[in-house]
Amino acid sequence: MNAFTFPISQRAATMKSSVIYDILKMTERPEVISFAGGLPTPEGFPVEQLHKAFDTIFQTQAKTALQYGSSEGYRPLREWIVRDFKARGVDIQVENVLIVSGSQQALDLIGKLFLDEGSKVLFESPSYLGAIQSLNQFSPCYDTIPTDEKGLIPEALTSDLTKDARFAYVLPNFQNPTGRTLCLARRIALVKRAAELNLPLVEDDPYGELRFEGEALPSLFALSQQYGGTVIRMGSFSKILSPGLRIGFITAPVHIIDKLVQLKQATDLQTSTINQMAVYETVKDGFLDVHLPKVRELYHRQCHYMLEALEEHFAGMEVSWTRPTGGMFIWMTFHQPDMDTTQLLYRAIEEQHVAYVPGEPFFPSKPEKNHLRLSFVTVPEDKIRAGVAQLARLFR
């Protein structure tokens, strides 16, 4: 593509394409086994139910579905979210809910609400690449919250670290990229500490419904009702129904929702009416209670296959990996200080016909090159086992 011959904004000039999507372009060849994409498996898409939902809408509410809607979102869907929260013991009202065009728009709106150029924002390290990419457009100053093998360390939130920080972005459930889950004690400590320091928490939870081992833990948003503080929670139907619908939501105090609505009106006016209605029509009568156990079991099997293959083929090597109890990702750490998974990616694809995401871009500052992320949900068992074996040959 030719370079621009006319001025463009500094923001646009500094934006870069997603590393993951660049990798996906390289893995379109059929012989390449890709563990790179963070995509939900199409086997989990409720095609029949969504087809029925759209048919019902066109038969009974077509004119409403094809018209503009409110910026806040389709009220029956917002009311369903309120009921779902209340069933989990979280007391919210419909005014606390904003429907957005996927969690990625939620990140964009939150960035617009809180960040100016040079604003300080706190991240786990490593953290979700999409959040880093979204917030980069506002030219913030990143500082990182120390983590260990159990995730974010709440005691690391000192007054010095949080001074002037606009918010802290955290993923407590099956974190992308590590797959780690924050335990209950750390969740409580994090919410209490953030409340003491008047630090808003942005809780991103696209994977919470994908737990396949252990008991569900209360969200940071739920805990804030007990321990105080401000938590802005992002949720999504992308991983539990379909990412193509682009339906996510934000729950937050009313004064924050009101301001986010104003920003959304300036962005896209509203989220797709018909898609919101289709989601509501699909979930309103308890469909997720039947659907999600099947998706969880599928992901559990896929994770088991990959963990088993890693144990077999990486035995004796100086490497460790996480053992997630839900979600979509396994994080590998090589203990040789000179290991560079970014440099090795091209060889992995060309020589071994297997792809992963290097760990380097998941670090908002001070990148580390001796990690990689594997996604286990879209690859069948035979290819998981073959791909891990091919990957091990490269690293040996």
Q: What is the mean pLDDT of residues 186-210?
A: 98
How confident is the prediction for the chain on average, in pLDDT?
Answer: 95
> Residue 230: inside a domain, yes or no?
yes
Query: Do 85 and 167 have their domain in common?
Result: yes
Give the total residue count for the chain.
Answer: 396
Q: Which tokens is 27 given?
A: 């893995």
Beta pairing, strands 354-355 & 33-34: parallel
Query: Do 141 and 275 have their domain in common?
Result: yes
pLDDT digits (tens, 9 = 90+) for 309-342: 999 999 999 999 999 999 999 999 999 879 999 9
Q: What is the mean pLDDT of residues 101-115?
A: 97
Distance CA 89, CA 138 (A): 36
> Residue 391: inside a domain, yes or no?
yes
CB 243 within 8 A of CB 215: no
What residue numbers bound the domain in which 333 lies?
17-38+289-395
Query: Do 235 and 130 have their domain in common?
Result: yes
Alpha-carbon separation of residue 358 from 7, 56, 292, 313, 342 (angstroms): 34, 44, 30, 19, 5
Query: Do 22 and 63 have their domain in common?
Result: no
What is the distance of C-alpha 211 from the center of its chain? 14
Query: Do 34 and 52 have their domain in common?
Result: no
> Residue 3: inside a domain, yes or no?
no
Query: Do 269 and 319 have their domain in common?
Result: no
The CATH number given to whatever domain includes residue 332 is 3.90.1150.10
The predicted structure's pLDDT at residue 340: 96
Query: Do 262 and 337 have their domain in common?
Result: no
Query: Do 215 and 324 have their domain in common?
Result: no
Domain stops at, among 259, 285, 311: 285
pTM: 0.96
The predicted structure's pLDDT at residue 38: 87
Domain stops at, among 247, 265, 285: 285
pLDDT digits (tens, 9 = 90+) for 52-69: 999 999 999 999 999 999
Domain stops at, among 285, 301, 331: 285
> Residue 2: inside a domain, yes or no?
no
Distance CA 185, CA 83 (A): 27
Query: Comparing C-alpha atoms, which of 206, 200, 232 is closest to residue 327?
Result: 206
Query: Do 91 and 165 have their domain in common?
Result: yes
> Residue 4: inside a domain, yes or no?
no
Query: Do 182 and 72 have their domain in common?
Result: yes
pLDDT at 2 over 60: no
How many domains are contained in the chain?
A: 2
> Residue 57: inside a domain, yes or no?
yes
Residue with token string 């808003």 = 200
329-334: strand order across its sheet = 319-321, 329-334, 371-375, 357-358
> Residue 1: inside a domain, yes or no?
no
The CATH number given to whatever domain includes residue 199 is 3.40.640.10
Query: Do 385 and 295 have their domain in common?
Result: yes
pLDDT at 386 over 80: yes
Query: Do 266 and 304 have their domain in common?
Result: no
Percent of the chain with pLDDT over 90: 90
pLDDT digits (tens, 9 = 90+) for 132-167: 999 999 999 999 999 999 999 999 999 999 999 999
